[in-house]
């Protein structure tokens, strides 16, 4: 079951989740500047996402929400009804909802068994545990869990987080000014006042805790809401702070009993707050909220709000696009030494210390001084040009220095991807250069430096364009700068350094595998950045143009947009033409 909620699978759901979120917000805003946040937004969002994940009719979202409410809170609310007849009627409704949900899911499971689809139901039917397939009852139970926990708990978690922001308007302003805080705001909301108060556990043997003897079979409730306010773990735990550096929180439990759908809940919440605060500057209550009144599962029956729209930004037509202005090492293969500045740039000899196969198409070369001396120092964003004599031909290729400050003065790290239609440079490096060989290079130059002062640094890479951004990321993190990396590639098998970035587990690193349907929405990403962010991009021309166009459309100053182009890309103004050759 956990394989259905891997980071890669959940990330692939972001475009659909974002489109759905925008549609819900559009529908709300079409009716004015007020809404009942729970029923108009946080109920339909997870219900619709979950229906798509399971592979069932999206029109069932309201029914899913009703079933989830009956299963989670129905018995408790029924017990509180004083009138006996009304109480028994409510119990009958709960039983009916349980039977209806089971009958519906069994019918859908049978359909998926006969006609497998690309969805969670089919995955569960085909899943095996230790060689044994899950039983029909186990699959049914897991589907019920998705309907219940994937609806009500996510709904209340997002609603409760907004309520925390309503109670702390200064924190709401921070989020409105910096949408990159959306994920952390949700985490802090879960910690500060999440929906789950306690988690019941049964003692499997006699045990003593805190001087209290607990016999086997006794049910003990672990109060996670109390643990999330533990002053030995959290500094000033009674303060709601969306910039808090959070250690592990227990709102989704942990270990074997942790909520397997938590990555999806976190995705839905992050996207929800990013999309809302990209369009509104603030929320305020618009009437009296109504709490569920439950002890074990906190939440709302309704939360009416009013929102203030952000003033529309008028895009300034760029007088001269950054695409044309940027200083780059473009068209290196076709440019003269004078055009490249190589007539004024020193050359030197380096030795290939060793070569590592990073992927099937990319090799990393570690270069050192041939006599063991120091190499010219460089700053992150720098590149070298390697001069390769191949018979009568001379290839000159520029390669970004990956290592930033690491090994400063001792080594240069470069990565070379074998181009499909190589004119010789990358092919030469892959096929003819061996460890111990000496190469002639032009000393490092930097046309792609990082800004000295920025609110935030946003790095956007495509394919082998990751190389200069690795240097920037390492340097900026070392300087305690705010840095966020987005790396798109065609498939993981050929994505240079993707395993390295994945292994680090940095929440500010986001990977997009096109083979899994994961798409990088550049305009949405640019739109949710705080004012004063600098963006850096390297990769395919289409990606860099999209970054520049999105930033310029929002009126970003030219000095905040940085791109690195190696090799000549097609111009957007290119048009076909005819040439006639005559003697």
pLDDT in tens, 101-120: 999 999 989 988 888 887 77
Beta-ladder partners of 398? 385
Q: Percentage helix, strand, coil, to 5, in the chain?
A: 45, 20, 35
Paired tokens of 71: 């299963």
Length of the chain: 583
Q: How far apart are CA 505 and CA 183, in angstroms?
A: 15
Compute φ and ψ for 101, nearest 5 degrees. -60, -45
CA dist list (Å): 310 to 183, 387, 448, 554 = 21, 53, 33, 13
For tokens 């006599």, the residue is 371
**CATH class, 450-564 region:** alpha beta
pLDDT, residue 526, reads: 94
Compute φ and ψ for 94, nearest 5 degrees. -65, -45
pLDDT, residue 450, reads: 92
- Which superfamily, per CATH, for 332-445? Translation factors (2.40.30.10)
Instruction: Find the range with the poorest average confidence among 219-223, 271-275, 413-417, 448-452.
Output: 219-223
Closest by CA to 489, choosing from 522, 514, 521, 523, is: 514
Paired tokens of 391: 């018979």
435-453, pLDDT tens digit by residue?
A: 999 999 999 988 899 998 8
340-382, pLDDT tens digit by residue?
A: 555 567 899 999 999 999 999 999 999 999 998 889 989 899 9
**Mean pLDDT of the 70-80 span:** 74
| Residue pair 399/470 in contact by the 8 Å Cβ criterion | no
Closest by CA to 548, choosing from 568, 533, 526, 570, is: 526
Evaluate if residue 314 carries a pLDDT over 70: no
Mean per-residue pLDDT of the chain? 84
Instruction: Find the range with the poorest average confidence among 126-130, 137-141, 154-158, 220-224.
Output: 126-130
pLDDT level of residue 254 (50, 70, 90 thresholds): low
| Residue pair 180/456 in contact by the 8 Å Cβ criterion | yes
Q: Above pLDDT 90, what percent of the chain?
A: 46
Paired tokens of 64: 């899913």
SS3 529: coil
169-218, pLDDT tens digit by residue?
A: 999 999 998 988 999 999 999 999 998 888 778 889 999 988 999 999 99
**CATH class, 2-308 region:** mainly alpha
**Mean pLDDT of the 79-103 span:** 89
pLDDT level of residue 405 (50, 70, 90 thresholds): low
SS3 144: helix
Domains of the chain, by residue range, sit at 2-308, 332-445, 450-564
| Residue pair 174/243 in contact by the 8 Å Cβ criterion | yes
Closest by CA to 426, choosing from 449, 468, 455, 397, is: 397
Helix H, strand E, coil C: the string for 216-267 is: CCCEEEECHHHHCCCCCCCCCCCCCCCCCCCCCCCCCCCHHHCCCCHHHHHH
Q: Roughly what angle, to the nearest 10 degrees, separates helices 14-29 and 44-54?
A: 150
Identical fold for domains 2-308 and 332-445, yes or no, is no
Kindly write down the DSSP assignment for every residue of 363-382, as one continuous string: EEEEEE-TTS-PPPP--TT-
- CA dihedral 158→161→162→164, nearest 10 degrees, is 160
Tell me the CA end-to-end span of the chain in Å, nearest whole number. Answer: 73
Paired tokens of 527: 């739109």
pLDDT level of residue 305 (50, 70, 90 thresholds): very high
pLDDT, residue 328, reads: 34
């Amino acid at each position: 079951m956990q394989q259905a909620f891997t980071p890669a699978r959940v990330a692939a759901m972001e475009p659909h989740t974002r489109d759905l979120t925008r549609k819900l917000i559009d529908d709300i805003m079409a009716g004015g500047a007020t809404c009942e946040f729970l029923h108009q937004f946080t109920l339909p969002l997870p219900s619709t996402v979950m229906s798509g994940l399971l592979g069932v009719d999206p029109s069932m979202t309201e029914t899913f929400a009703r079933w989830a409410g009956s299963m989670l809170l129905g018995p408790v609310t029924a017990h509180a009804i004083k009138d006996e007849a009304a109480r028994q009627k409510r119990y009958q409704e709960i039983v009916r909802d349980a039977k209806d949900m089971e009958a519906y899911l069994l019918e859908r499971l049978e359909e998926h068994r006969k006609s497998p689809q690309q969805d969670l139901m089919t995955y569960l039917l085909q899943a095996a545990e230790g060689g044994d397939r899950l039983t029909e009852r186990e699959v049914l139970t897991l589907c019920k869990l998705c309907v219940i926990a994937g609806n009500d708990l996510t709904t209340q978690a997002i609603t409760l987080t907004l309520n925390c922001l309503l109670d702390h308007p200064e924190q709401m302003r921070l989020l409105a000014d910096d949408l990159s805080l959306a994920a952390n705001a949700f985490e802090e909301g879960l910690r500060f006042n999440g929906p789950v108060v306690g988690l019941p556990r049964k003692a499997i043997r006699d045990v003593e805790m805190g001087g209290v003897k607990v016999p086997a079979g006794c049910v003990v409730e672990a109060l996670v809401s109390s643990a999330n306010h533990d002053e030995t773990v959290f500094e000033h735990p009674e303060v709601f702070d969306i910039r808090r550096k959070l250690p592990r929180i227990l709102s989704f439990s942990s270990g074997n009993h942790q909520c397997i759908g938590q990555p999806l809940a976190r995705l839905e919440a992050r996207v929800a707050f990013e999309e809302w605060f990209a369009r509104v500057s603030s929320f305020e209550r618009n009437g009296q909220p109504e709490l569920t009144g439950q002890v074990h599962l906190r939440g709302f029956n309704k939360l009416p709000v009013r929102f203030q729209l952000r003033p529309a930004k008028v895009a300034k037509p760029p007088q001269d696009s950054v695409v044309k202005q940027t200083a780059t090492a473009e068209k290196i293969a076709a440019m003269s030494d004078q055009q490249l500045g190589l007539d004024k740039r020193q050359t030197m000899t380096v030795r290939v210390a060793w070569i590592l196969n990073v992927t099937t198409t990319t090799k990393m070369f570690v270069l050192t001084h041939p006599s063991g001396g120091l190499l010219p120092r460089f700053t992150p964003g720098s590149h070298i040009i390697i001069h390769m004599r191949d018979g009568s031909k001379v290839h000159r290729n520029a390669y970004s220095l990956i290592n930033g400050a690491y090994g400063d003065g001792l080594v240069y790290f470069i990565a070379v991807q074998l181009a499909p239609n190589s004119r010789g440079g990358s092919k030469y490096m892959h096929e003819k250069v061996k460890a111990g060989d000496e190469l002639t290079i032009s000393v490092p130059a930097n046309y792609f430096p990082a800004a000295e002062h920025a609110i935030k640094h946003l790095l956007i890479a495509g394919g082998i364009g990751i190389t200069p951004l690795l240097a920037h990321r390492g340097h900026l993190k070392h300087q305690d700068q705010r840095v966020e990396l987005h790396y798109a590639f065609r498939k993981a098998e050929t994505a240079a350094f993707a395993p390295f970035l994945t292994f680090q587990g940095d929440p500010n690193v986001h990977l997009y595998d096109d083979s899994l349907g994961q798409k990088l929405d550049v305009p949405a990403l640019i739109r949710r950045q705080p004012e004063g962010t600098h963006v850096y991009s390297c990769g395919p021309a289409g990606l860099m143009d999209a970054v520049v166009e999105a930033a310029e459309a929002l009126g970003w100053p030219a000095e905040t947009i940085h791109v690195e182009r190696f090799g000549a890309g097609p111009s957007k103004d290119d048009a076909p033409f005819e040439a006639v050759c005559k003697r």
